[in-house]
Structure 1
Amino acid sequence: MTALRPIHACAALTAAACLAVTLWTGLRDARVALAFGVLIAVGELTRWSGPRVRQAAPLGTAGSLSYALLGADAGRPAGHGAAQVVTVVLAASLLGGVPHIWCGRTPTLDHLARRVLTVGFAAVCFQPLRHQHAFADGSGPAHALLLVVLLLLTALCDALLAAALGHARTGWPFGALLRDELRGLRGIGSAVCATGAVMALGVAVAGLWALPVFCLPLLLAQLSVRRYAAVRATYRQTIASLARATEIAGYTPAGHARRVAALSLAVGRDLGLTRPELAVLEYAALMHDIGQLSLLDPVPAGATAALPVPEQRRIALLGGAVVRQTGVAAAVAVVVERQADPCAEQPLAARIVRAVNAFEEKSRDAGPDGPLRALEELRLATAGDYAPEVVESLARVLARGSLTLPTAG
């Protein structure tokens, strides 16, 4: 949590200073400020806070960047400065975020801090430059090139802030979070940046009527992203339902697959896996025991870690065959198949599933000291059965104590 206070304090000081300057100098180009304020507020109202949402308010973000990079209005030089940009963006974001703040849906302070600092960075970099002779008319190739460069720098600034805030709140590795944020720029992040630049250029030439015209494609993109997120959520629910087949049939204890998946995800994040890799890891962890459905006699308590290695491999191969027939990604089937292979030959995801599954089986119903004894058993077996880096990562995750595992019910 150490980075949260400095970032929030910096954002608060920036917002307070900009508000003071704006109140002292007065609001300039009120019509333009009102138009962009309404756009940003509407963008905040239409944001959503589903799981794994990277850009919750693309329209609000694009409008904020566009106002920060606005050099002219229908050929007339814009009169606002960087302080007014931050003030208008903050006021509009707060107004549009009232329903979300009221319902407590999102980490509002983090969202506002990122918005204030990234928009402030873009405005401070651009507003002094727009008075230079090469950019004074608000259009032309030099102006467009300047916008592209500033948008790239602003996107990098936002990615750094997002990774720092994520690291402070979760303890996950900063490098992995930053890679995920930068990778996300290739998706809707690039659409947001492009829309912000195009709106600024459009308003400079055609006036404020350009705003609704250039907002429409981003609104459609936002709708498509929402539908894609809904499909992904349904896909995960389907996999979770398949994973419960072993519990319903009595082969594994209730909640075992969910607990292994939750703990595997925490270990994967600690080891710096990317989001696509974490998705494969989660699906494989949910379905790691599905091969037991092919057994005539259930394994006692579903504890495959105590079985002979040949039997473990047979169950793993049967599980991989079942996964392939369900239509799940082949990468998931590979992890399921190889979870019982020699440790040195396994992919990292298979090493994680194997160690976490063994820990869950050994610590389950073992009393208050069960997790400690199970972890010690895993450490003693790192010479051949379990990867040392995975076991140590598991120890770090357990030591943090921030993980809430699903219950047996």
Structure 2
Amino acid sequence: MSARRPSRLRTLVHAAAALLGALALLTVLRTGLAERPLALAFGLFVTVGELTLPRSRPRSGEETSPPGVRVGEAAPLGAAGALSYALVAADAGQPTHHGVAQVVAVVLAATLLGSVPHIARGQQVTSDHLARRVLTTGFAAVCSQPLRPEGVSGAGAGSAHALSLLALLSLTALCDSVLAAALAHSRTRRPFGPLLRGELRALPGIGSAVVATGAVMALAVAVVGLWALPVFSLPLLLTQLSFRRYAAVRTTYRQTIASLARATEVAGYTPAGHARRVAALSKAVGRDLGLSGPALTVLEYAALMHDIGQLSLVDPVPAGATAGLPAAEQRRIALLGGAVVRQTGVDAAVAVVVERQADPCREQPVAARIVRAVNAYDEKVRDAGPGGPLNALEELRLATAGDYAPEIVEALARVLSRDCLTLPAAG
């Protein structure tokens, strides 16, 4: 449980966001709201963007986002609106005079307002999301002040000004990626490197769409006015809906694979929950070793289906424990499992991992080494009685000379010590 307590870094980030938000709100309350139509329009836009959060969010540890979708950016439409308001320098040719404090206050109020329906439905709206929105908006608003054109002329027309806005928003997106990875690392204790790589890998996808939309809306509002908001946000909205639909398809695909994996449990070949435990723990070990994206997905699917070859056996293995079988028998079951996986239409890379989980350790790919070690751990801890996890790990360490890769066993030990993942109970 200690790994779940907020770290000092996360506490500092939240405190900085809370302080910035409080100062902004107090400033606006004292000085009043400048250019109210503009503030209300952008506030409404950000609120609507927050309302587009998915109705169901992935549980901790699940990755259902398609390639190019930032797990850390739940409401890209709200992010684009917030960044656009931070950059806008004129409204239909008339220079604006709202300051950084008003930008932060309006975005904070709109984000909170847009979160109310989600909270009412019992959804979790994380404080990390709110802190990042406040800090990134404040950063963009402060950095945009030197870029504000003087007077009406060139309020959004100059190519140099447009490139400057794009560069600023790109820098803001990069800083937000670092902040998102740091917060996720502090919250979950997962390695920072893979988390940051995942965030950066998504920047050319939805991240670039957010940056482009934010810059275009700021420039368009400066020239033609507020009606540009719905017009220039439509492409991002359609992109967001397409990504959500693809993510829903991937979720259904994963659920189908999980149902196939349960066939061994329903038939009595393996204990209940074994495949889910191996898959969850394998993903955690894979993250610890730096796997991410498609490699992590292949690892999860292979772990879910690693025992499916037992369905081809005439006589079930006692308790489904294959780790103690002779190497030739393990390899035969693994090859049978790979053949079954290929028949299901699942990615061929998953079948390869299933087939090679019983190969000699030095010849296995990383994913197969992970599945083999985690499967053995789950089988051993189930029968080890009191002190089971420690005893099971010790057995694996003693077998690292030939059966299990030492780096995999040590990664497994780190994951278990952090307890960064809630696993179903064994047995």
TM-score by length of 2: 0.92
- Deviations for 1:112-149, whole angstroms, at most 9, x for unmatched residues? 10000011111100023214689952222011101110
Selected match of 2:367 from 331, 346, 349: 349
Alpha-carbon distance, 1:365 to partner? 3.6
Alpha-carbon distance, 1:373 to partner? 1.1
Is residue 128–residue 183 contact of structure 2 (8 Å, CA) maintained in 1? yes
Does residue 252 in structure 1 map to residue 258 in structure 2?
A: no
3-state DSSP of counterpart to 2:400: coil
Is residue 101–residue 108 contact of structure 1 (8 Å, CA) maintained in 2? no
When structure 1 is superposed on structure 2, of 32-41 and 133-142 the one drifting more is 133-142
Alpha-carbon distance, 1:353 to partner? 0.4
- RMSD over equivalenced CA pairs, Å: 1.7
The whole-number CA distance in structure 1 between the counterparts of 2:343 and 2:208 is 36
Is residue 129–residue 135 contact of structure 1 (8 Å, CA) maintained in 2? no
Selected match of 2:404 from 361, 371, 386: 386
- In the other structure, the counterpart of 2:160 is 142
- Deviations for 1:335-383, whole angstroms, at most 9, x for unmatched residues? 1111111111211111110000000011114312222111100000111
- In the other structure, the counterpart of 1:292 is 310
Does residue 208 in structure 1 map to residue 226 in structure 2?
A: yes
The whole-number CA distance in structure 1 between the counterparts of 2:152 and 2:191 is 43
Does residue 50 in structure 1 map to residue 57 in structure 2?
A: yes
Match for 2:392: what amino acid? A
- Deviations for 1:276-309, whole angstroms, at most 9, x for unmatched residues? 2211111000000111112121111111110111
Is residue 313–residue 340 contact of structure 1 (8 Å, CA) maintained in 2? yes
Match for 1:77: what amino acid? P
Compare relative contact order (CA 8 Å, sep 6+) and give the higher one, 1 or 2: 2
Selected match of 2:296 from 249, 270, 278: 278
Please list every run of 5 or more consecutive structure 2 residues that lacks an aligned counterpart in the other structure. Answer: 1-6, 66-70
Alpha-carbon distance, 1:408 to partner? 6.2
The whole-number CA distance in structure 2 between the counterparts of 1:59 and 1:293 is 47
- In the other structure, the counterpart of 1:123 is 141
The whole-number CA distance in structure 1 between the counterparts of 2:57 and 2:126 is 14
- Deviations for 1:33-89, whole angstroms, at most 9, x for unmatched residues? 000000001111121252245232111111101111112111111211211111110
- In the other structure, the counterpart of 1:18 is 24
Alpha-carbon distance, 1:407 to partner? 4.0
Is residue 261–residue 275 contact of structure 2 (8 Å, CA) maintained in 1? yes
- In the other structure, the counterpart of 1:32 is 38
The whole-number CA distance in structure 2 between the counterparts of 1:23 and 1:261 is 52
Identical residues among aligned pairs (%): 74
Is residue 65–residue 122 contact of structure 1 (8 Å, CA) maintained in 2? yes
The whole-number CA distance in structure 2 between the counterparts of 1:313 and 1:273 is 25
Please list every run of 5 or more consecutive structure 1 residues that lacks an aligned counterpart in the other structure. Answer: none
The whole-number CA distance in structure 1 between the counterparts of 2:315 and 2:205 is 48
The whole-number CA distance in structure 1 between the counterparts of 2:33 and 2:419 is 50
- In the other structure, the counterpart of 1:315 is 333
Match for 1:324: what amino acid? R
The whole-number CA distance in structure 2 between the counterparts of 1:21 and 1:362 is 61
Is residue 47–residue 58 contact of structure 1 (8 Å, CA) maintained in 2? no
Match for 1:22: what amino acid? V
Is residue 261–residue 282 contact of structure 1 (8 Å, CA) maintained in 2? yes
- In the other structure, the counterpart of 1:171 is 189
- In the other structure, the counterpart of 2:68 is none
Query: In the comparison of the two structures, how many residue pairs are matched?
Result: 409
Match for 2:38: what amino acid? V
3-state DSSP of counterpart to 2:8: coil
